[in-house]
Chain A
Amino acid sequence: MSALAPLEVRGLTKHFARVHAVDDVSFELRPGTITALVGESGSGKSTVARLLARLHDPTSGSVLWEGGDVSRVRRRRDVLRYRSEVQLIFQDPFDSLNPVKTVLYHVERPLRIHKMVPPRQVEERVHELLRSVGLVPPHEIAAKYPHELSGGQRQRVALARVLAVEPKVILADEPTSMLDVSIRIGILNLMMRLKEERDIAFLFVTHDLASARYVADDLLVMYAGQIVERGPVEEVLAAPLHPYTRLLLAAVPDPARRLETSRIEERKGLAAAAVDPPDRCRFLERCPLAIDICSHVTPPLVEARPRQSARCHVTAPSPLIERTP
């Protein structure tokens, strides 16, 4: 849609000692677009969000934002400015709210710190923000303490607080996984409304493919630190290329499946593939499609269909290495 790419990630890499938590990850977050990043626990997806939020320094690679590399900015003023425009929300909103402070306090603080509105208009703006995330009546909600709110309401407060600084990018790290299923949809709908109304770019980190399909435009699938498949969410889920995407898809509880009585196959090993990874496919042990080359060449990300890429020698072979012995 928009030609402007506010946040561009290039070759982002983060090693924690021998663990290659994030390895050569590249993607763009475009305004008015939700990009879902899915994978299992330990795949590195949360580390990507934390790198973008500047909570870690990358080992290598860059994060381009408004023309400059922000992945290593150190000057306090620059870091603050970046953080006010690229905001992170966490899985458990309860942890990030001060239990002895009211909702009003939490939402007005960023307004005052970043001097978003004149002091006299702060309270009015808080009410506006609460209303925009569906917390009504705002004056009643503003007076409440975190423990008086439900999980869904707390996550809405977290969103209101983030919106206070008018960010261009929101990094949402599993924002719905602690919530009841009946409440989740409300938060997902709110994310979609915000992207449409405010042209915000979202990174939605989740392990739930169904939620990803519901809200996202683009999908990134991560396994053992690498992006193993990417593309428009509908296309990827309708015809996944990578065997790991297929595995994830098969694992989602599906009421219809009972009648079909199909079952996914037991997997052989567990994912420890990101520790000192040798030159081979990291999904090898769990892969039903593996061929000889998979055990000695790391598959590159290859665009096997228009806009859909995968790291797989079998389903997305690279013309450059296909014929090498």
Chain B
Amino acid sequence: MTALMEAPVETRTSAPALLELRGLTVDYGRARAVDGVDLTVHEGEILGLAGESGCGKTTIANAVMQILRPPGRISGGSIVFRGEDLVGKSDEDMRRFRWRNVSMVFQSAMNALNPVMRVGDQFVDAMRAHERIDKKRALGQAQELLELVGIDPDRIRSYPHQLSGGMRQRVIIAIALSLNPELIVLDEPTTALDVVVQREIMQQVEALKRDFGFAVLFITHDVSLLLEFADRIAIMYAGEVVESAAAQRLGTDAQHPYTQGLLRSFPPLSGPMQRLTGIPGSPPDLRNPPSGCRFHPRCPHCAPDDNALYLRQTTERPVLREVAPGHAVACHLVEQEGA
């Protein structure tokens, strides 16, 4: 009985896997932007992927959609969607896969709308590119979707310039929903918007996710947003996932010094105010990443005093290990404490 009551609360993660990255590696010429990443998005969950600019988070999204720009190419690993490996699929298969199963909303996607085309026609275009549907029905669906994202359905007759940035971004999300995808990839969808609009959009995504049951891969550099809206969070640094856990756990019990640094970068809105330090230094050049743990040059816990540990930190790459159910960390320090 007691054993049952003490079962982990993260039952969500036991939903079947929708998208699984296994050892995904992406190269841009001599720079390895993504290096052996394992990541799973389960059905109906919001997985947040966070890290600084250049850590490889957007590259992962582009790899999943297979829209990497040359010289970017997948040089290893697999991208498994519902049990099927997408790597090496034909362009035609990928075209059908995109939108039919997965939709992507880019950063500043609001600028992706065609400026000389009415909003409604852009829905019709997107739908007709992927399925046979007559225009009248498509417009009807467009109106329903606009209403869902909190925009007056009559706006199908508007041109993009007649809408605010936040409204345009919601139109894009509505178009992304129009083909009823199983997974939506949101790449910094609210970064260009102010906080009030950002919150409205996030609340809408959350509500739509509940109604439609799609999963979300949410990419941002703003961990505070993920702590509130994501189910699970993966933190990336220099092409690797360094920590992943349920959002609530990550917020209260982050183990990786990089995650801890990210969380300490936000000034609080209430309570005592302390001088914050952020994370000194900058992310490494991926053409020539540091040896050992890639975070070691910026790590506050990496000093030559402890000889054995320092040697490992600077020469040996840490691997992701589970420190608790559903909570994995790649750090020599954590490993050592656990041992």
- List the interface of chain A (C-beta within 8 A of B): 40-42, 150-153, 180-186, 188-189, 207-211, 213-214, 237-238, 247-255, 257-259, 263-264, 266-267, 270
Q: Which residues of B contact A255 (CB under 8 A)?
A: 224, 227-228, 251
The 8 closest A-B pairs by CB, nearest first: A185-B278, A214-B267, A255-B227, A253-B224, A40-B194, A251-B195, A182-B279, A251-B199
Which single member of A210, A248, A270 contacts B266 (CB below 8 Å)? A210
Known contacts A40-B194, A41-B165, A213-B267; 4 additional CB pairs below 8 A are A180-B52, A181-B224, A181-B262, A253-B228
User: How many A-B pairs with Cβ below 8 Å?
Assistant: 111
A264 near B199: Cβ-Cβ < 8 Å: yes
Q: Which residues of A contact B282 (CB under 8 A)?
A: 150, 152-153, 183
**Which size class do B's interface residues fall under?**
35 or more
Q: Which residues of A contact B262 (CB under 8 A)?
A: 181-182
Given A181-B221, A181-B222, A266-B150; A214-B276 close (CB under 8 Å): yes
Which single member of A153, A189, A238, A251 contacts B196 (CB below 8 Å)? A251
A214 near B273: Cβ-Cβ < 8 Å: yes
Q: List B179-194 residues whose CB lies under 8 Å from chain A.
A: 193-194
Q: Any chain A CB within 8 A of the CB of B277? A: yes
Q: Which residues of A contact B278 (CB under 8 A)?
A: 181-186, 189
Most-contacted residue by chain A among B194, B197, B251, B270 (CB, 10 A): B194
Q: Any chain A CB within 8 A of the CB of B203? A: yes
Q: Which residues of A contact B165 (CB under 8 A)?
A: 41
Which single member of B195, B270, B276 contacts A238 (CB below 8 Å)? B270
A41 near B194: Cβ-Cβ < 8 Å: yes
Q: List B242-257 residues whose CB lies under 8 Å from chain A.
A: 247-248, 251
**Which residue on chain B has the smallest CB distance to residue A271?**
B164
- List the interface of chain B (C-beta within 8 A of A): 52-53, 150, 164-167, 193-200, 203, 221-225, 227-229, 247-248, 251, 261-262, 265-270, 273, 275-280, 282
| Distance between B128 CB and nearest chain A CB, rounded to angstroms | 30
Roughly how many angstroms separate A186 CA and B262 CA in the complex, as a whole number? 13
22 sampled A-B residue pairs with Cβ under 8 A: A41-B165, A150-B282, A180-B221, A182-B52, A182-B265, A182-B279, A189-B275, A210-B269, A213-B273, A214-B276, A238-B270, A247-B196, A248-B195, A248-B196, A252-B195, A253-B198, A253-B225, A253-B228, A254-B269, A258-B251, A259-B248, A263-B203
**Which residue on chain A has the smallest CB distance to residue B271?**
A256
**Which residue on chain B has the smallest CB distance to residue A150?**
B282
**Which residue on chain A has the smallest CB distance to residue B283?**
A150
Most-contacted residue by chain B among A185, A238, A257 (CB, 10 A): A185
A151 near B53: Cβ-Cβ < 8 Å: yes
Roughly how many angstroms separate A180 CA and B221 CA in the complex, as a whole number? 7
| Distance between A242 CB and nearest chain B CB, rounded to angstroms | 14
**Which residue on chain B has the smallest CB distance to residue A237?**
B269
Roughly how many angstroms separate A213 CA and B229 CA in the complex, as a whole number? 23
Given A181-B222, A185-B278; A210-B199 close (CB under 8 Å): no
Given A40-B194, A207-B195, A258-B248; A185-B265 close (CB under 8 Å): yes
**Which residue on chain A has the smallest CB distance to residue B198?**
A251
Roughly how many angstroms separate A186 CA and B52 CA in the complex, as a whole number? 14
**Which residue on chain B has the smallest CB distance to residue A208?**
B195
Q: Which residues of B contact A247 (CB under 8 A)?
A: 196
Q: Which residues of A contact B199 (CB under 8 A)?
A: 250-251, 253, 264
Roughly how many angstroms separate A251 CA and B196 CA in the complex, as a whole number? 5
B196 near A210: Cβ-Cβ < 8 Å: no
